[in-house]
Amino acid sequence: PTPFDAIVHCSAVHADASITNMVRVNSEGTVRALELAKACKAKTFIYLSTVSVNGEIQPETVDELTSIINPSPYGISKYLGELAIKDYPIRAMTIRCCGVIGNGAHRNWLSRVLNSAQLGGEIAIFHPEAQFNNAVHVSDLCQFICQLIGNDDWDGQETVTIAADGMSTVWNV
Protein backbone atom coordinates (compact mmCIF):
# COMPACT_ATOMS: atom_id res chain seq x y z
CA PRO A 1 0.00 0.00 0.00
CA THR A 2 1.07 3.58 -0.56
CA PRO A 3 2.47 5.91 0.54
CA PHE A 4 5.80 4.33 1.51
CA ASP A 5 7.94 5.90 4.19
CA ALA A 6 11.06 5.33 2.12
CA ILE A 7 12.69 3.59 -0.79
CA VAL A 8 16.29 2.56 -0.12
CA HIS A 9 18.12 1.93 -3.39
CA CYS A 10 21.29 -0.04 -2.81
CA SER A 11 21.52 -2.40 -5.76
CA ALA A 12 24.40 -2.08 -8.18
CA VAL A 13 26.79 -3.96 -10.37
CA HIS A 14 30.44 -3.36 -9.67
CA ALA A 15 33.49 -2.52 -11.73
CA ASP A 16 33.91 -6.09 -13.02
CA ALA A 17 30.69 -5.75 -15.05
CA SER A 18 30.59 -4.42 -18.58
CA ILE A 19 30.12 -0.70 -19.04
CA THR A 20 26.75 -1.41 -20.65
CA ASN A 21 25.60 -3.32 -17.57
CA MET A 22 26.95 -0.64 -15.22
CA VAL A 23 24.95 2.03 -17.03
CA ARG A 24 21.86 -0.18 -17.25
CA VAL A 25 21.85 -1.20 -13.58
CA ASN A 26 23.57 1.67 -11.77
CA SER A 27 22.23 4.62 -13.77
CA GLU A 28 19.03 3.50 -15.45
CA GLY A 29 18.17 1.30 -12.45
CA THR A 30 18.27 4.38 -10.24
CA VAL A 31 15.81 6.13 -12.55
CA ARG A 32 13.50 3.09 -12.31
CA ALA A 33 13.80 3.14 -8.50
CA LEU A 34 12.93 6.86 -8.52
CA GLU A 35 9.90 6.16 -10.69
CA LEU A 36 8.83 3.50 -8.19
CA ALA A 37 9.29 6.00 -5.35
CA LYS A 38 7.12 8.48 -7.25
CA ALA A 39 4.43 5.88 -7.99
CA CYS A 40 4.39 4.70 -4.36
CA LYS A 41 4.35 8.27 -3.04
CA ALA A 42 7.46 7.55 -0.99
CA LYS A 43 8.39 10.34 1.41
CA THR A 44 12.12 9.61 1.29
CA PHE A 45 14.58 8.19 -1.22
CA ILE A 46 17.93 6.87 0.04
CA TYR A 47 20.57 6.16 -2.62
CA LEU A 48 23.73 4.25 -1.81
CA SER A 49 26.41 5.62 -4.06
CA THR A 50 30.19 5.28 -3.70
CA VAL A 51 33.36 7.27 -3.11
CA SER A 52 34.40 5.83 -6.49
CA VAL A 53 32.41 8.79 -7.85
CA ASN A 54 35.39 10.94 -6.83
CA GLY A 55 37.84 8.94 -8.96
CA GLU A 56 41.45 9.88 -8.20
CA ILE A 57 41.23 11.14 -4.64
CA GLN A 58 43.98 13.59 -3.78
CA PRO A 59 43.14 15.20 -0.42
CA GLU A 60 43.55 13.34 2.87
CA THR A 61 39.93 13.97 3.82
CA VAL A 62 37.12 13.03 1.47
CA ASP A 63 33.66 14.57 1.74
CA GLU A 64 30.77 15.44 -0.55
CA LEU A 65 32.69 18.52 -1.80
CA THR A 66 35.81 16.57 -2.83
CA SER A 67 36.60 17.13 -6.50
CA ILE A 68 35.66 14.52 -9.06
CA ILE A 69 38.81 13.66 -11.00
CA ASN A 70 38.92 10.95 -13.65
CA PRO A 71 36.38 8.50 -12.17
CA SER A 72 36.18 4.94 -13.45
CA PRO A 73 33.20 3.83 -15.55
CA TYR A 74 31.76 2.40 -12.30
CA GLY A 75 32.13 5.77 -10.56
CA ILE A 76 30.57 7.55 -13.53
CA SER A 77 27.61 5.15 -13.62
CA LYS A 78 26.92 5.76 -9.91
CA TYR A 79 27.32 9.53 -10.36
CA LEU A 80 24.73 9.47 -13.15
CA GLY A 81 22.37 7.90 -10.60
CA GLU A 82 23.13 10.78 -8.23
CA LEU A 83 22.35 13.30 -10.96
CA ALA A 84 19.05 11.58 -11.81
CA ILE A 85 17.77 12.25 -8.29
CA LYS A 86 17.86 15.99 -8.96
CA ASP A 87 15.05 15.54 -11.53
CA TYR A 88 12.62 14.26 -8.88
CA PRO A 89 10.83 16.36 -6.26
CA ILE A 90 11.52 14.00 -3.37
CA ARG A 91 13.35 14.21 -0.08
CA ALA A 92 16.53 12.34 -0.93
CA MET A 93 19.82 11.43 0.67
CA THR A 94 22.73 10.17 -1.40
CA ILE A 95 25.24 8.28 0.73
CA ARG A 96 28.69 7.93 -0.78
CA CYS A 97 29.99 4.79 0.87
CA CYS A 98 33.53 3.57 1.12
CA GLY A 99 34.26 -0.10 1.79
CA VAL A 100 31.21 -1.71 3.40
CA ILE A 101 32.38 -4.54 5.63
CA GLY A 102 30.52 -7.24 7.51
CA ASN A 103 28.83 -10.54 6.81
CA GLY A 104 28.77 -11.20 3.08
CA ALA A 105 31.14 -8.38 2.11
CA HIS A 106 33.68 -9.37 -0.50
CA ARG A 107 34.57 -6.51 -2.86
CA ASN A 108 36.60 -4.11 -0.71
CA TRP A 109 40.22 -4.64 0.26
CA LEU A 110 39.55 -5.37 3.95
CA SER A 111 37.14 -8.15 3.03
CA ARG A 112 39.59 -9.58 0.49
CA VAL A 113 42.39 -9.57 3.09
CA LEU A 114 40.13 -11.33 5.62
CA ASN A 115 39.10 -13.93 3.03
CA SER A 116 42.73 -14.55 2.08
CA ALA A 117 43.69 -14.96 5.74
CA GLN A 118 40.84 -17.41 6.35
CA LEU A 119 42.05 -19.47 3.39
CA GLY A 120 45.63 -19.40 4.63
CA GLY A 121 46.72 -17.28 1.68
CA GLU A 122 49.58 -14.86 1.49
CA ILE A 123 48.78 -11.26 2.38
CA ALA A 124 50.86 -8.38 1.09
CA ILE A 125 50.66 -5.24 3.22
CA PHE A 126 51.77 -1.83 2.01
CA HIS A 127 52.10 1.14 4.36
CA PRO A 128 50.95 -0.76 7.48
CA GLU A 129 51.25 2.37 9.63
CA ALA A 130 49.21 4.63 7.32
CA GLN A 131 46.02 5.97 8.86
CA PHE A 132 42.71 5.16 7.18
CA ASN A 133 39.00 5.19 7.90
CA ASN A 134 37.63 4.04 4.56
CA ALA A 135 35.35 1.35 5.94
CA VAL A 136 31.88 1.19 7.41
CA HIS A 137 30.23 -1.88 8.92
CA VAL A 138 26.98 -2.92 7.27
CA SER A 139 25.09 -2.88 10.59
CA ASP A 140 26.23 0.71 11.26
CA LEU A 141 25.17 1.69 7.74
CA CYS A 142 21.73 0.13 8.27
CA GLN A 143 21.33 1.93 11.59
CA PHE A 144 22.29 5.23 9.95
CA ILE A 145 19.75 4.71 7.17
CA CYS A 146 16.99 3.91 9.67
CA GLN A 147 17.83 7.09 11.60
CA LEU A 148 17.69 9.12 8.39
CA ILE A 149 14.27 7.77 7.47
CA GLY A 150 12.90 8.65 10.90
CA ASN A 151 14.53 12.09 11.04
CA ASP A 152 12.25 14.97 10.06
CA ASP A 153 14.97 17.60 10.62
CA TRP A 154 16.21 17.51 7.03
CA ASP A 155 14.46 18.12 3.78
CA GLY A 156 15.44 18.54 0.17
CA GLN A 157 18.24 16.57 -1.41
CA GLU A 158 21.60 16.05 0.21
CA THR A 159 24.78 14.07 -0.37
CA VAL A 160 26.99 12.77 2.43
CA THR A 161 30.19 10.76 2.44
CA ILE A 162 30.50 8.22 5.24
CA ALA A 163 33.39 6.25 6.70
CA ALA A 164 34.54 4.88 10.02
CA ASP A 165 34.32 7.27 12.95
CA GLY A 166 37.99 7.04 13.85
CA MET A 167 41.28 6.46 12.13
CA SER A 168 43.18 3.16 12.30
CA THR A 169 46.15 1.43 10.73
CA VAL A 170 46.34 -1.95 9.04
CA TRP A 171 48.30 -3.22 12.04
CA ASN A 172 45.42 -2.30 14.35
CA VAL A 173 42.54 -3.74 12.30
pLDDT tens digits, one per residue of 19-51: 999 999 999 999 999 999 999 999 999 999 988
Q: Are 168 and 128 in contact (CB under 8 A)?
A: no
Q: What is the pLDDT of residues 46-69, one digit of tens each?
A: 999 988 888 888 877 777 888 889
120: left (phi over 0), alpha (psi -120 to 50) or beta: left
Instruction: Quickly count: other Cβ atoms within 10 Å of residue 42's Cβ.
Output: 22
Q: What is the pLDDT of residues 96-141, one digit of tens each?
A: 887 776 777 666 666 666 677 778 888 777 666 766 656 777 888 8
| Whole-prediction pTM | 0.81
The pLDDT assigned to 172 comes to 63
The pLDDT assigned to 1 comes to 62
